[in-house]
């Protein structure tokens, strides 16, 4: 799990400190609690997809090397895994097919 977290922290987009501090500018529109809840939910879903995508990416890489390294397979990019978190290994490269 530490590898997963470390990978996420390394690949996530950094933010500038000025984005997190109060710049002294008053917001033009106050957000309602439901807006904040929806934004939080969206952010949580995005984070979940990023973490699952990284987990599947690393697992596929490991499983291909260990289970079917002779099978030619080009692994999709990490971004593809993050868009749709799932295993992209061919069905012929699984524990049950060896």
18-64 pLDDT, tens per residue? 444 455 556 566 666 677 888 999 999 999 999 999 999 999 999 99
Model pTM score:
0.61
| Residues in CB range of 58: below 8 A, 6 or more apart | 3, 4, 7
| Residues in CB range of 34: below 8 A, 6 or more apart | none
What domain count does the chain have? 1
| Residues in CB range of 31: below 8 A, 6 or more apart | 39
Residue 76 lies in a domain: yes
- Using CA atoms, how far apart are residues 22 and 26, in angstroms rounded to an integer? 9
Residue 95 lies in a domain: yes
Residue 14 lies in a domain: no
pLDDT class of 93 with cuts at 50, 70, 90: confident
Residue 18 lies in a domain: no
């Amino acid at each position: 799990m530490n590898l997963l977290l470390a990978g996420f922290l390394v690949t996530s987009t950094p933010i500038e400190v000025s984005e997190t501090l109060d710049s002294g500018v008053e917001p033009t529109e106050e957000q309602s609690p439901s807006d904040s809840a929806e934004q939080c939910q969206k952010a949580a879903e995005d984070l979940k997809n990023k973490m699952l995508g990284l987990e599947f990416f690393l697992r596929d890489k490991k499983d291909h090397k260990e289970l079917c390294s002779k099978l030619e397979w080009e692994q999709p990019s990490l971004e593809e895994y993050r868009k749709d978190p799932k295993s992209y290994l061919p069905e012929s490269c699984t524990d049950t097919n060896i």
